[in-house]
Structures are given as structure tokens and as C-alpha cells.
Amino acid sequence: MPKSHKIVPTRIVIYAKDVMNITGRSERTSRKILQQIRQATGKKRGDMITVLEFCQHTGIDQHLVTDFLL
């Protein structure tokens, strides 16, 4: 396959920068949101947060978030 026709994979992990762009919140608040999700899901510090977990926590439709990340 030529390099110009790369398939862009859908990400399943969400980062603080993504939360900032989606919600319009500051970096600090975005990190707090991710930390709250980790605590609610029983994950440890540094564990990845999935788009699905973010959507369940915030109530934002998953299709909106995945379209935003593309």
C-alpha cells in the first residue's frame, strides 16, 4: 500500500489535551477529570482512560467524541 493511503486508526485512549479540546476546560481541570475517572473505575495512577470510560463519566455521546478525535 502506498504511504499516501495510510489508514487512520480510531484511538481508544483519551488524554488531557483531548479533554481540554472537547470540553473547553483548562489543563488542570482536564487532568482532574481524568483522575476522577481513574478513581471511579479503580485504576491506578498512570493507567489509561478509554473514550468509552470518559463518555460514561461525562455523559457525552461516544460518537461525538470519536468524531472529534479524528
pLDDT digits (tens, 9 = 90+) for 6-42: 565 678 999 999 999 999 999 999 999 999 999 999 9
How much is the pTM? 0.81
Strands 13-14 and 49-50 turn out to be: antiparallel
pLDDT at 64 over 70: yes
Q: Is 69 exposed, middle or buried (0-12, 13-18, 19+ CB in 10 A)?
A: middle
Q: What is the pLDDT of residue 5?
A: 63
User: Which is more confident, 60 or 3?
Assistant: 60
